[in-house]
Structure 1
């Protein structure tokens, strides 16, 4: 079976997405990983927590389905566009995960941008763009996602949820969970008052600090 280890890893990651707190039930979410010019994706017609490796289609970057007993998920259009962009620009992102959680959908249905209210936002690129609303599975939403992910490891898709990139599936899942946590934190803060937002200078200082270990730049 073509890319069997990657298909197995996609299934395991999909189950983790389905088990996440606040995740929408059923097929609401898509997981993909690229190896060279080939991409493994979750299929349509199967709940994320019931996937088997043979279900997952393998596609080439020119959108041809090479193997798999089921059709790609509708969001394959978005995932393939992101993978092509990463491959064309030699970006180290090889995994993409899209999911709808209560908090990512809530924020994406109200805000035009998720502001950085915690220093961990710096690791995703800072403020998180929210794309214009577009029907899922279309070329338009794929184009919006590619634009929103420029220089970022996560984006919010208006009224759909979130999408995250990673150097592998584990990293993409970590980034997706961080995006969800940042959304939840913002929503909690907004219940109290106007959230304090980190400035670009403060984010730059955080990125500088992150280049050092536990000692930091000024221990001695």
Structure 2
């Protein structure tokens, strides 16, 4: 069956290509699917989503593997591999892709370097999305996301309107908040995208905690301090 960008059925039935479990399936896809499932399960274990809320994707060539809609992550198996092309046409599996497919595809189209996207309903980050248009720069990890994290305007889930608002909020950033909804981050790998989600939730919790102390306002980093942090983070981690 062919799928629209919003993840709904469209037009005449067209058999999806099933490769999971097939001995001819590309090892890269199988490995990426296993990593995607592990990451999706991690979002639940770490309290970033409840049930089947949130979704994860990873790009392998011109194929985007995505979590399927409404399926518990602990039930996902190799034969459940679900994938679409960059136009949203389903090319792998038979399970319906996540309803948030438009957001994932918008990220991959906008940034060729994007290889993974993580979307959650993290509690503290969602709470911040209700309060301010931008997460104040309370910590130097703000620089790891490209600068102060913006809040995209509210739009119904699974819509192109939400995807457009998200892209505006992501300009120059690798993560943003979605008003009354949650978070979305991306990176060059699933590990990087997930780490950015976890850092964003932590910074939101930090700001909410500091802001709750009566008679005090959180100390915020200056633009110069964020610039310095950006430069220092370029050399962070192992090389090679």
TM-score, normalised to structure 1's length?
0.90
The 1:104/1:50 distance shift into structure 2, 3 A limit, reads farther
User: Greater CA deviation, 203-212 or 180-189?
Assistant: 203-212
Q: Pairwise CA RMSD of aligned residues?
A: 1.5
**Aligned counterpart for 1:204 among listed residues 227, 231, 238:** 227
* Structure 1 counterpart of 2:40: 14
Alignment of 1:167-206 (within 5 A): 167-192=188-213, 193-206=216-229
> For 2:128, which of 84, 107, 113 is the aligned residue?
107
Structure 1: tracts of 5 or more residues without a match: 215-220
Q: Are 2:52 and 1:31 aligned?
A: no
Which of 51, 76, 89 aligns to 2:76? It is 51
Who wins on radius of gyration, i.e. which is larger? 2
Deviation at 1:213, TM superposition (A): 6.6
**Alpha-carbon distance in 2 for matches of 1:77, 1:209:** 34
Give the C-alpha shift of residue 40 in structure 1.
0.3
Structure 1 residues 9, 210: closer, same or farther in 2, change over 3 A?
closer
1:66 offset after TM fit, Å? 0.5
Cα distance between partner residues in 2 of 1:201 and 1:158: 28
Q: How many residues align?
A: 209
- Partners of 1:153 and 1:164 within 8 A in 2: yes
For the residue of structure 2 that corresponds to 1:32, the secondary structure is strand
Are 2:92 and 1:67 equivalent residues in the alignment? yes
Aligned partners of 1:150, 1:102: CA distance in 2, in Å? 24
Question: C-alpha separation between the residues in 1 aligned to 2:81 and 2:169?
Answer: 27
2:40–2:73 contact (8 Å) kept in structure 1: yes
Task: Identify the match of residue 66 of structure 2 among 23, 41, 49.
Answer: 41
**Paired position in structure 2 for 1:217:** none
Quote the offset at 1:52 in angstroms.
2.1
Q: Secondary structure at the match of 2:91?
A: strand
In the TM superposition, 1:80-95 aligns within 5 A as 80-87=105-112, 92-95=113-116
The answer to whether the 8 Å contact 1:56/1:72 transfers is no
